[in-house]
Amino acid sequence: MEKLLSICIPTYNRIEKLKGLLGSIAKYPPKRWDMIEVCISDNCSTDGTREFLGQKTGEYPFEVKVGLNAKNEGMDNNILKALALGSGRYSWLVSDDDYFIENGLARAMNFLAGIKDEKTVLIYFSPRLRDNEGNFGLISEPNGFLSDIAVSKSAFEKIKKGDLKLGLKSGYMHCWIIRMLGFSDPENKAVYFGERLIDGEASNLRVELNKELRHSGSFITQYSWLFLHGKQRLFFAKKLVGAVGFPFFHILCERVFRNKGMEKLGIGFFLNNFGMIGIALWLYRAFIGILPLGASELQLGAALFLIGKAKLTKNAEYSFWQEYWLKNFERPELSNRSFFAE
């Protein structure tokens, strides 16, 4: 009997977190264990994870498949290894430091079982995302945290291996897979569950900022490839400009919106994520850090005007980006700063 769901977990040196995730699956069971499998790809851990996977996984009420990498192959390749272990109709990528909430797995399986359209190849399990509009949405906005997305196994296997390799070393292989699902078949589309089924530890500002900046930087070369792909060249030319410019815009938002002032980040932080362009980012951040706040607000207003004219984002309103920053990085009540707000 074909399994409905493969829970695919890439892991490395997080044995206690991994135990917590597996424990949450066992604690909140679906109606039928025979319809799921858990697939774990270990990236050559040194903290006892490999021994645990070899000795203890048979104690769980669900089937566990294990892959042990002979060496650390990087996060992106380990994601592909985890997906390759799965045989279910859908493969749900789950980060090893997350865990299922009560009834989360059962509700997900009920939702998956109700999908009848074979062209629905991506499922967003997240309250943070909006509906993705058809095939073009898959290509242009491959949004999602690692634990937010489940993909059709058959659709994933149709992606050319050479196209998948282009996403290696980006740090965002799961987003690259979404984009390649869009390219592989023009009829492929996504659906949106829209409720929280998995939870995890909240990250601090430095980690969140790192993710946002690295996300932009990692796709610069990939947007270049998309531009050469030949489809919708003008659109992807704009996306490439956005990928290059977004780190500067994000730093500007930090200066204007962060109530506590700009966090201390050394040049190494930017070099590690952007290479030589990190020097320009660091210098720009240092420069606007000593400018009066009003000067930075004027810069932000000008940037939003240009972004709106070029249609690089769907929303170029000051109030939108203010709320976005505070929701994702600060999480207090909205700031009183409203220089450009209506």
Q: What is the pLDDT of residues 23-32, one digit of tens each?
A: 999 988 888 8
Give yes or no: residues 135 and 227 share one domain. no
167 and 38 in a common domain: yes
- Given 172, 200, 228, the domain boundary residue is 200
Which residue segment(s) compose the domain that 228 sits in? Answer: 205-330
Please identify, among 168, 200, 232, the residue that sits at the C-terminal boundary of a domain: 200
Decide if 127 is inside a domain: yes
What would the pLDDT profile of 50-79 be if each residue is shown by its tens digit? 999 988 878 899 999 999 999 999 899 999
DSSP label at 3? -
On the CB side of 224, how many CA atoms lie within 13 Å of its CA? 8
Note whether 221 and 106 are same-domain residues.
no
Alpha helices (runs of H) in the chain, residue ranges in sequence order: 15-27, 49-55, 75-85, 104-113, 134-140, 153-157, 161-165, 173-184, 205-218, 220-229, 233-257, 267-274, 277-290, 293-310, 318-325
Beta bridge partners of residue 38, listed in sequence order: 7, 64
Using pLDDT thresholds of 50, 70 and 90, give the confidence band for residue 247: confident
Same domain, 209 and 300: yes
- For 186, residues 6+ apart whose C-beta sits below 8 A from its C-beta are 135
Residue 240 lies in a domain: yes
187 and 316 assigned to the same domain: no
- Asked if residue 341 is part of any domain, the answer here is no
Any domain includes 336: no
95 and 115 share one domain: yes
Q: Is residue 298 part of a domain?
A: yes
pLDDT-derived band of residue 338, with 50, 70 and 90 as boundaries? Answer: very low
- Do the strands 149-152 and 90-93 form a parallel or antiparallel pair, or are they unpaired? antiparallel
Question: How many domains does one find in the chain?
Answer: 2
Contact between 316 and 307 under an 8 Å Cβ cutoff? The reply is: yes
Same domain, 192 and 268: no
Q: Do 162 and 211 belong together in one domain? A: no
Residues 39 and 184 in one domain: yes
List the single range of 130-139, 239-248, 306-315 with lowest mean pLDDT: 130-139
Give percent above pLDDT 90 in the chain. 35
For residue 20, is pLDDT > 70?
A: yes
Distance of alpha carbon 270 from alpha carbon 257, whole angstroms: 20
Q: Of 200, 231, 252, which closes a domain?
A: 200
Residue 171 belongs to domain with CATH number? 3.90.550.10
- Spatial separation of the C-alpha atoms in residues 164 and 2, rounded to whole Å: 26
Residues 74, 211: one domain? Answer: no
Does residue 339 fall inside a structural domain?
no
Same domain assignment for residues 212 and 280: yes
> 335 Cβ partners below 8 Å, 6+ apart?
257, 259, 322, 326
Based on the domain organization, do 84 and 142 belong to the same domain? yes
